[in-house]
Amino acid sequence: MATKTRFTQAMHADQVLTLQATPGMVEKSPEKRGPKSIPLQGRLKLRDHAGFLDYGWPVQPMDCLDRLEEVSLEQVVGSNRPKLVLRTLYNGKPRTRDFSIRNDDFAQKAAQFLRQHIGKTILEIGDLDVDF
């Protein structure tokens, strides 16, 4: 009878790689999408930051042409995680972008950083270097 062993190793802040080992076979199954990279220290692009949960910062150029108008933080009822809300404008039409955030510290720093870039496109902002 084959025995199965389950190993869980954190690959990224939002991605867990589950390895199920059986004789002669190893399966890899990502359970959640996460950022591309997480340096332990130093600068990285805002779009690659691990502080954004779920799908992270948008990366498709055609989906990032709206301009940032307003930044606010909200607390989701029933959740201990903050939500970063961006109000943007694209071709004269308002748009709202909601981001689930890992913790309050990152939420505060991200909101402060984003407020300094009102008027820039989401694409431009995602390409900026951050060190928080």
pLDDT of residue 78: 85
**Encoded amino acid at 51, one letter:** G
Question: What are the tens digits of pLDDT across the range 82-99?
Answer: 999 999 999 999 999 999
The structure tokens 């890992």 sit at 102
> Nearest to residue 118, comparing CAs of 59, 55, 72?
72
> Rounded distance, CA 77 to CA 99, Å?
15
- For residue 77, give both structure tokens: 């009822």
pLDDT at 28 over 80: no
pTM: 0.66
> Rounded distance, CA 52 to CA 126, Å?
12
Cα angle 115-104-110, degrees, rounded to a multiple of 5: 25
What is the mean predicted confidence (pLDDT) over 108-112? 96
Question: What are the tens digits of pLDDT across the range 38-54?
Answer: 444 468 899 999 999 88
pLDDT at 24 over 70: no
At a CB cut-off of 8 Å and minimum separation 6, what does 41 contact?
A: none
